[in-house]
Amino acid sequence: MRTSIQVGRIIGIPIRLHFTFIFILPVIVLWFAEAPGPVGLGETEELSRLFRYSLAALAASLFFLSLLLHEISHSYVAMRYGTKIRSITLFIFGGLAMMEDLPREPEKEWRIAIAGPLMSFAIGGAFLFTYFGIKTVKLVIYDPFTILMFSIGLLNVVLATFNLLPAFPMDGGRILRAFLAKRMQFLEATRRAVLVGKTFAVIMGIVGFMPDPFMLYSTGEVRILFNPWLTLIAVFLYIAATEEESATIMVATLEGTKVRNVMRTENASVLADMPITELAEKMLKEKNAEYAVVSDRGDLRGLITFSEIKELSTEQRHSLKISDIISPVDRLSAVISQEEEVIEALKRMIRGKKNILAVEEEGGGEIIGVITKRDIVMHIEILKGGS
Under the rule (CB under 5 A), what is the footprint of Zn ion?
116, 163, 171
Could you tell me which of 285, 273, 282 has the C-alpha nearest to residue 320?
273
Q: Judged by CB, which is closer to Zn ion: 66, or 355?
A: 66
Rounded distance between C-alpha atoms, residue 204 and residue 358, angstroms: 47
Q: In what order do the strands lie in the sheet with 335-337?
A: 335-337, 356-360, 367-372
Contacts of 296 (CB under 8 A, 6+ apart): 271, 272, 273
Is 71 one of the annotated active-site residues of the chain? yes
Q: Judged by CB, which is closer to Zn ion: 15, or 346?
A: 15
Q: Judged by CB, which is closer to Zn ion: 75, or 163?
A: 163
Rounded distance between C-alpha atoms, residue 20 and residue 25, angstroms: 9
The active-site residue out of 34, 71, 221, 286 is: 71
Rounded distance between C-alpha atoms, residue 304 and residue 301, angstroms: 10
Q: Judged by CB, which is closer to Zn ion: 113, or 342?
A: 113
Q: How far is the CB of 106 from Zn ion (least distance, A)?
A: 17
Q: How far is the CB of 26 from Zn ion (least distance, A)?
A: 25
Q: How far is the CB of 44 from Zn ion (least distance, A)?
A: 32
Nearest residue relative to Zn ion (C-beta): 116
Q: How far is the CB of 70 from Zn ion (least distance, A)?
A: 6
Q: How far is the CB of 114 from Zn ion (least distance, A)?
A: 9
Long-range contacts of 17-20 (CB under 8 A, 24+ apart): 17/89, 17/90, 18/89, 18/90, 18/91, 18/92, 20/91, 20/92
Rounded distance between C-alpha atoms, residue 357 and residue 364, angstroms: 14
Q: Judged by CB, which is closer to Zn ion: 69, or 303?
A: 69
For residue 95, the cross-strand partners are: 90
Which letter, b or e, does each residue of 49-59 get, where b requires 16 or more Cβ atoms within 10 Å of its Cβ? eeebbebbbeb
Active site residues: 71
